[in-house]
Structure 1
Amino acid sequence: MDTFSSAVRSRIMARVRSQRNRSTELKIIEILKRGGLKGWRRNSPLHGKPDFIYPKQRIALFVDGCFWHGCPKCCRMPSAHRKYWVNKIERNKNRDKDVTKALKKKGWKVIRIWEHEISAAKIARKLNILSKYYKT
């Protein structure tokens, strides 16, 4: 059972922002800098608002939160208002698929990283595609 009224919970959830999330994007920035990968940009107006883009290489990188994007490994639905949350997460997953499809149609390579995959080793494997574009 939720400890907040629906009005209070609504205000709390409305304050959740998709930028500058310390548990995701800022960790990725640190890993990218440490790995010497340059050329990425943030806050792009590109469709779907990728967390990072590599404009020259036309790569869009999304860092998906495990709860909000329905990670099959670790997303646990709240027991309160379950129907609402199942529908909400399903809409998010469908939007992710649509965004990926639209960007690929425009010639972008789309990479999605789950929040639980944020470690230097896992990101290095996911971003292996980038190594083709950099001469070391």
Structure 2
Amino acid sequence: MTDDWSPPPGSWASSAARRRNMQAIRSRDTKPEQLVRRLVHAQGLRYRVSAKPVPELRRTADMVFRPAKVAVFIDGCYWHGCPEHYVPPKTNHGYWSQKVVGNVNRDRDTDQKLRSAGWTVLRFWEHEPPEECALRIAATVRRLRPPSQQVP
């Protein structure tokens, strides 16, 4: 990369370093997601990863249990405005704060739309113990599975 880099017109990236940093942020397969998925899988449950619970809704859940109609989201503390851990940004405050507020609003809208379509929505923060999340997910999925999917 050359030193004369400049952001493309209309880009929010203020430097090459910031741009690289932002591009490295994962939207799926984060460590908290992987830990929870591994624990749920170990309990014998199978699921879809980063899937649309409702095909016509342009939103993906981190884990989708179709027969039980359970959608699971593992939300990052910064990007989803965790009441315990969210720290407002020091630079470009207006842009990032507005982005987080938009994410929170979209999360609430997603929850409402999925519930209206008959889905159970489970949301966890990335800082919650993965074991507790996995136990809650497994209990919910087992309770909501159709009778034909029940394991004796």
Tell me the TM-score normalised to structure 2 length.
Answer: 0.75
Contact 1:60–1:109 (CA under 8 A) maintained in structure 2: yes
Letter in 2 for 1:43: S
1:1-136 map, 5 Å: 6-8=14-16, 9-21=18-30, 23-34=31-42, 36-46=43-53, 47=57, 48-125=59-136, 127-132=138-143, 133=145, 134-135=150-151
Q: Shift of the alpha carbon at 1:135?
A: 4.1
Closer/same/farther in 2, CA of residues 60 and 135 from structure 1, 3 Å limit: same
Q: Distance between the aligned counterparts of 1:119 and 1:51, measured in 2?
A: 14
Counting matched residue pairs gives: 130
Q: Distance between the aligned counterparts of 2:36 and 2:116, measured in 1?
A: 26
Quote the sequence identity (%). Answer: 29
CA RMSD of aligned residues (A): 2.0
Unaligned runs of 5+ in 2: 1-12
Q: Distance between the aligned counterparts of 1:107 and 1:129, measured in 2?
A: 14
Q: Shift of the alpha carbon at 1:119?
A: 2.4
Q: Distance between the aligned counterparts of 2:129 and 2:51, measured in 1?
A: 21
**What CA deviation, in whole Å up to 9, does each residue of 1:98-128 have, x standing for no partner?**
1111111111111111101132034424553
Contact 2:32–2:130 (CA under 8 A) maintained in structure 1: no
Unaligned runs of 5+ in 1: none
Letter in 2 for 1:17: R
Counterpart secondary structure, 1:62: strand
Q: Distance between the aligned counterparts of 1:92 and 1:127, measured in 2?
A: 27
Contact 2:81–2:104 (CA under 8 A) maintained in structure 1: yes
Q: Distance between the aligned counterparts of 1:50 and 1:120, measured in 2?
A: 19
User: Which one has a bigger Cα radius of gyration?
Assistant: 2
Greater than 4 Å deviation, 4+ residue runs: none
Q: Distance between the aligned counterparts of 1:120 and 1:97, measured in 2?
A: 25
Tell me the TM-score normalised to structure 1 length.
Answer: 0.83
